[in-house]
Amino acid sequence: MTDLSAPPFSSRHIGPSEPEQQRMLQAVGFESVADLVAVAVPEAIRAKDRLKLPAAASETEAIAELRGLADRNQVLTSMIGLGYHDTVTPAVIRRNLLENPGWYTAYTPYQPEISQGRLEALLNFQTVVSDLTGLPVAGASLLDEATAAAEAMTLARRAGKSKSDVFVVDADTLPQTKAVLATRAEPLGITLVEDPLDGAPPECFGVLVQYPGASGRLRDFRAVAAAAHEAGALVVAAADLLALTLVAAPGEFGADIAVGSSQRFGVSFGFGGPHAAYMSVREGLQRQLPGRLVGVSVDADGGPAYRLALQTREQHIRREKATSNICTAQVLLAVIAGMYAVYHGPDGLRRIAHRVHRHAVALAGGLRRAGLEVVHGEFFDTVLVRVPGRAAAVLAAAAERGVNLWQVDDDHVSVACDEKTGAAEVAKVWAAFGAEGSEVTLDADALPASLPRESAYLTHPVFHAHHSETAMLRYLRRLQDKDIALDRSMIPLGSCTMKLNASTEMEPITWPEFAAIHPYAPAEQAAGYRELIGTLEDWLAEVTGYDTVSIQPNAGSQGEFAGLLAIRAYHRANGESGRDVCLIPSSAHGTNAASAVMAGMRVVVVACDSDGNVDLADLDAKIEKHRDTLAAIMVTYPSTHGVYEETITEVCAKVHEAGGQVYVDGANLNALVGLAKPGEFGADVSHLNLHKTFCIPHGGGGPGVGPVAVRGHLAGYLPGHPLHDGTPVGPVSAAPYGSAGILPISWAYIRMMGSEGLTAATEQAILSANYLARRLAPHYPVLYTGRGGLVAHECIIDLRQITKETGVTVDDVAKRLIDYGFHAPTMSFPVAGTLMIEPTESEDLGELDRFVEAMIAIRGEISRVASGDYDKTDNPLRNAPHTAESVTADEWPHPYARSEAAYPLPSLREGKYWVPVRRIDQAYGDRNLVCSCPPLEAYED
Ligand SMILES: *Cc1c(COP(=O)(O)O)cnc(C)c1O
């Protein structure tokens, strides 16, 4: 009988078909995948059993199960506030941006020429933030408001003149911000002092003010700022962007740094995230900004072009000199927030803010007239009401009417209005307080008279040109068309695992039952979420061999920090607080050392040998030297060199024997899932990157989720949250479950792959990397290999000799690949002068061969440079990439043909990607730092 069952999802997720897989195996010289894996993966780390996961569900079944979970969440009107406000994502943005793979599958814009669309969108975001906060330089997103505040705290300490170690926090700061500040401050020796800021702040290096406050109170901080500056301290304002359309900007009342969330600019709650936080700074602090900063430069033809400024890779994560560990940020959400501002324009935003404010005023007026006490006379959107002993009853009465309010204490309830608040909601709230029948009267605004918003904002034409839906649709399309994302071609980035982000995985995240849940909604309203999170944490524990997982960290970097805090707390609990040395191999990702510094550890670098492995002799020496103070080793496995180090179990044993803990950076878990488990082969803790191994799309540089996974002895030290039962370690993210809103993606992936599918994916990823290595090896030397001459899930090709002989650099190859329609591999990491390629399991043989063909053709071009057939400097490699404008110019001064420039392979004649700018001058942009939308004249010839 013919098999009538549908092919499993894994056959959709895994690119190569079985016959293709056979051809690839043949090329690599193996009979079967099992044989290949048996040679490639060291026996010592192999997992004994298959993963204990439920049998794979079909796409239809998985969606049905997710529907069931979603139905267990209850969507109420949320008037909880506290940094999270309901908002309308304009449908044109939801459908054509958030739900559009042209946007969400893009990578971080390290290759600026193929990222002009999202870079422009991020520049819009920076302009919004800079204009509204009244500070000249804004970055392209931080992880959440609380961690942004923590970054501002450390920035103030670095940049300020004060010798104090005290950071003063406004008593009216959001609770999650206070908690994250405490987590971050303690290991760095910073003392937090909470203060009502009624007079001058106590002696300190910095002060954080919340504007408006958590209680809704909106106050003038001019005197506080002046007093702080007088004493040599910097002022940080945590500000609400929507409020800033109506009241004075932080930059105008004396803030040096502004931070906050852009969530209410069109981004759903998602049970806490992901949302883009922002930071802006005054002149003079821009080189201290953490995270990425988009700037304007010029291309080879002198036209304006965007790129990431002030960093060869990431200026702030320079190993032990690091000042921040932020890598993956919240790009997709920043793009949405920026587009929300583009769509509404300054007048639209002011109208929305005004509407929010008028509803809050009406709400307060009705309560007052009913005899209730409204605590603050001046507020923007949040009304604090005193109801002695009745707070819980009011909350219950509101919930009965379908509205969530916030209980501050037994005697106080706060009510936050937002873009969706209307007369019906106000009436329900009145009723909940026992003030039924109150009527809206024309009370005066409740904004402080001393804080008028006088400066203009969003004057740039981009905020005035796209207000009709047609114009918005075309603007989104025009920007999307400039970029290469996974919807065009493979993105062969080592260490970043740009695999399929399946449509079925993506679908649920915009369902209201997942998108519209406030992170502080009552637990029973999020029952579906809690089950989904619990299940996902259990599955990840099974996959990694650890005992407990927390999904709170909202990027890999934050998972690292959380893991190291767990190690630190464990040593302290054992009376070994002197253990503060963290060993890190020289090949490690920059975030590792940065996280260690943030966790109060001292970084000691361990050398790698010529094969790229941890140098055991050096490890022994370093362990010996720091035996009594050894806290941990952080190793990436498989290593960033793309090989399975044979000695990993030995490395673990040596560190354990000296009393240290082993942290395995799980960014490369795509080489291990189903085959080996870090928690079983000797590690104590890992972070994973759900935006690498578990299919959350890269979003052009975020969002991500970086769960931290630990063995039992560290389980008591995972990140807590002020809203949950106390644990010894505080939260690392603002929201209790971090970026919960995108967890359905990873849940769906695991659910649809099952044990066999996940293992097959890993095997295919290894086979594909080895296939590429084998095919490229005759043309480019492959730098590191392990047993049997095999690599793991990625390979590094070495151009250093080629560069020496011909002058052609990795940059030239990367930019020439654009002419061939490809995103470049990872450049010069972890070894300068090399390219790291990770094909992932999702690319089929045709696509892999297309890439190989391009790389071989480029090698041919390099040979022509070497032989003198091509000019040493005026050749297609050095001049790459070629725009349509440049190859159709009336003048063509180059010694090679236009067709060689544009169509080096015949296959490119169909579906050619035309890059929008020529090669970008990085140095020019850093010398002439421009980080907000340039005036239109800049685009004139
Ligand atoms: C991506 C990566 C990280 C950082 O993760 P983010 O999510 O970007 O913060 C850390 N280590 C390695 C090896 C990585 O590849």
Alpha carbon nearest to ligand 1 atom 2, residue: 667
326-385: pLDDT as tens digits: 999 999 999 999 999 999 999 999 999 999 999 999 999 999 999 999 999 999 999 999
Q: How far, in Å, is the centroid of ligand 1 from the Cα of 556?
A: 5
Average pLDDT value for residue range 294-322 = 79
Tokens read off for 416: 């936050």
Residue that the structure tokens 């301290």 belong to: 233
Would you state the pLDDT for residue 260?
Answer: 98
Give me ligand 1 centre to Cα 803, in Å. 28
Look up the domain containing 717 and give its range: 546-738
Pairing relationship of beta strands 826-827 and 795-798 according to DSSP bridges: unpaired
pLDDT in tens, 313-342: 454 556 667 778 999 999 999 999 999 999
Closest CA to 798 of 776, 818, 766, 816: 776
The interaxial angle of helices 18-28 and 845-867, nearest 10 deg, is 40
Distance 697 CA to ligand 1 centre (A): 14
Cα–ligand 1 centroid distance for 439 (angstroms): 55
Q: Half-sphere exposure (CA, 13 Å, Cβ side) for 424?
A: 5
**Strand-strand pairing, 406-409 and 137-138:** unpaired
Contact 362, 443 (CB under 8 A): yes
| Position in ligand 1 atom list of the atom nearest CA 689 | 7
Mutate to test the pocket of ligand 1, among 147, 324, 495, 694 (most ligand atoms within 8 A of CB): 495
The best mutation among 498, 595, 689, 692 to test binding of ligand 1, ranked by most ligand atoms within 8 Å of the C-beta, falls on 689
**Residue 443: which pLDDT band, with cuts at 50, 70 and 90?**
confident
Indicate whether 633 belongs to any domain: yes
Q: How far is the CA of 602 from the centre of ligand 1 (A)?
A: 20
Pocket test for ligand 1, best of 108, 317, 493, 557 (most atoms within 8 A of CB): 557
> Regarding predicted confidence, which is higher, 315 or 93?
93
Closest residue by CA, ligand 1 atom 15: 495
Q: Distance from the CA of 365 to the center of ligand 1, in angstroms?
A: 51
| 669 domain residue, yes or no | yes
Q: Which of 591, 634, 668, 672 to mutate to test the pocket of ligand 1 (most atoms within 8 A of CB)?
A: 591
CA pair distance 395, 591, nearest whole angstrom:
43
Query: What is the pLDDT at residue 510?
Result: 98
Residue 230 tokens read as 């007088």
For position 273, what pLDDT does the model report? 97
pLDDT digits (tens, 9 = 90+) for 535-571: 999 999 999 999 999 999 999 999 999 999 999 999 9
Instruction: Locate the ligand 1 atom nearest the alpha carbon of residue 558 and give its number.
Output: 9
Total structural domains within the chain: 1
Tell me the average pLDDT of the chain.
Answer: 96
pLDDT tens digits, 781-808: 999 999 899 999 999 999 999 999 999 9
Cα(328) to centroid(ligand 1), Å: 7
Identify the residue whose C-alpha is closest to ligand 1 atom 6: 556
Of 291, 261, 289, 293, nearest in space to 275 by CA = 261
Asked if residue 344 is part of any domain, the answer here is no
Both tokens of 159, joined, read: 């940049």
The pLDDT-based confidence of 311 (bands split at 50, 70, 90) is low
Q: Identify the residue whose C-alpha is closest to ligand 1 atom 14.
A: 667
Q: What is the pLDDT of residue 465?
A: 97
Check whether 422 has a pLDDT greater than 70: yes
Residue 398: inside a domain: no
CA 557 / ligand 1 centre spacing (Å): 6
DSSP 881: S
CA-wise closest residue to 229 among 198, 205, 197: 205
Nearest to 300 by CA among 896, 858, 874, 739: 874
Kindly report, residue by residue over 58-80, the tens digit of the pLDDT.
999 999 999 999 999 999 999 99
User: 17 in helix, strand or coil?
Assistant: coil
| CATH number of the domain encompassing residue 593 | 3.40.640.10
* 122 Cβ neighbours under 8 A, 6+ residues apart: 109, 140, 141, 294, 306, 331, 334, 335, 338
Whose C-alpha lies nearest to ligand 1, atom 5? 556
Mode of pairing for the β-strands spanning 826-827 and 661-665: unpaired
Q: What percent of the chain has pLDDT over 70?
A: 98
How far is ligand 1, taken at its centre, from the CA of residue 271, in Å?
A: 24
Q: What percent of the chain clears pLDDT 90, i.e. is strictly above it?
A: 91
- CA of 692 from ligand 1 middle (Å) equals 9
Q: Is 535 exposed, middle or buried (0-12, 13-18, 19+ CB in 10 A)?
A: middle
Distance 666 CA to ligand 1 centre (A): 8
Asked whether residue 719 is assigned to any structural domain, the reply reads yes
pLDDT the model gives residue 926: 83
Q: Give pTM, 2 decimals.
A: 0.98
Q: How far is the CA of 399 from the centre of ligand 1 (A)?
A: 41
Q: Whose alpha carbon is nearest atom 3 of ligand 1?
A: 556
| Ligand 1 center–CA 125 separation, angstroms | 24
Domain-embedded: residue 402 = no
Asked if 530 and 88 touch (Cβ cutoff 8 Å), the reply is no
User: What tens digit of pLDDT does each residue of 256-297 get?
Assistant: 999 999 999 999 999 999 999 999 999 999 989 999 999 999
Which residue is it, tokens 């739900």?
Answer: 99
pLDDT at residue number 432 = 98
907 Cα to the center of ligand 1, angstroms? 35
**Of the residues 332, 589, 742, 826, which should be mutated to test ligand 1's pocket, given the most ligand atoms within 8 Å of the CB?**
589
Segment 610-643, tens digit of pLDDT: 888 899 999 999 999 999 999 999 999 999 889 9
CB-based contact 748:67 (threshold 8 Å) = no
The ligand 1 atom at the shortest distance from the C-alpha of residue 691 is: 7
**Residue in the structure block whose two tokens are 């933030």:** 129
**Which strand (E) or helix (H) includes residue 632?**
strand 630-636
Q: How far apart are CA 939 and CA 941, in angstroms?
A: 6
Q: Ligand 1 atom closest to Cα of 640?
A: 13
Own/partner long-range contacts of 355-359 (Cβ < 8 Å, ≥24 apart): 355/419, 356/242, 356/380, 356/381, 356/417, 356/418, 356/419, 356/421, 357/246, 357/381, 357/417, 357/445, 357/446, 357/447, 358/445, 359/417, 359/421, 359/422, 359/425, 359/426
- Interval between CA 518 and ligand 1 midpoint (Å): 28
Ligand 1 atom 8: residue of nearest CA: 328
Which atom belonging to ligand 1 lies closest to the Cα atom of 559? 9
| Ligand 1 site-directed mutation target among 110, 327, 561, most atoms within 8 Å of CB | 327
Distance CA 499, CA 872 (A): 37
Q: Please, which residues have CB within 8 angstroms of residue 513's CB and are 6 or more apart in sequence?
A: 70, 71, 73, 75, 528
Provide the pLDDT confidence category of residue 494 given band limits of 50, 70 and 90.
Answer: confident
Between 868 and 787, residue with greater pLDDT: 868
Cβ contacts of residue 723 below 8 Å, gap of 6+? Answer: 175, 520, 736
Which token pair is 358?
Answer: 């008028």
Could you tell me if residue 413 is inside a domain?
Answer: no
- Residue 732's pLDDT is 97
- C-alpha to C-alpha distance for 608 and 619, rounded to whole angstroms: 9
Residue 12 near residue 502, CB atoms below 8 Å = yes
pLDDT, residue 313, reads 42
Residue with the smallest CA separation from ligand 1 atom 7 is 556
> From the CA of 591, how far away is ligand 1's center (Å)?
7
C-alpha 293 to ligand 1 mean position (Å): 18
pLDDT at 168 over 90: yes
Distant-in-sequence, close-in-space partners of 738: CB < 8 Å, separation ≥ 6: 272, 273, 551, 552, 553, 554, 558, 705
- Inside any domain, residue 696: yes
CA of 589 to the centre of ligand 1 (A): 7
3-state secondary structure 745-769: HHHHHHHHHHHHHHHHHHHHHHHHH
N residues, the chain: 941
Which residue of 292, 316, 639, 665 sits with most ligand 1 atoms within 8 Å of its CB, as the best mutation to test the pocket?
Answer: 665
pLDDT for position 425: 98
Residues with CB under 6 A from ligand 1: 327-328, 495, 555-557, 589, 591, 636, 640, 665, 667, 689, 704, 706
Report the nearest atom of ligand 1 relative to the CA of 591.
10
Identify which of 854, 776, 848, 763 has the alpha carbon closest to the alpha carbon of residue 814.
Answer: 854
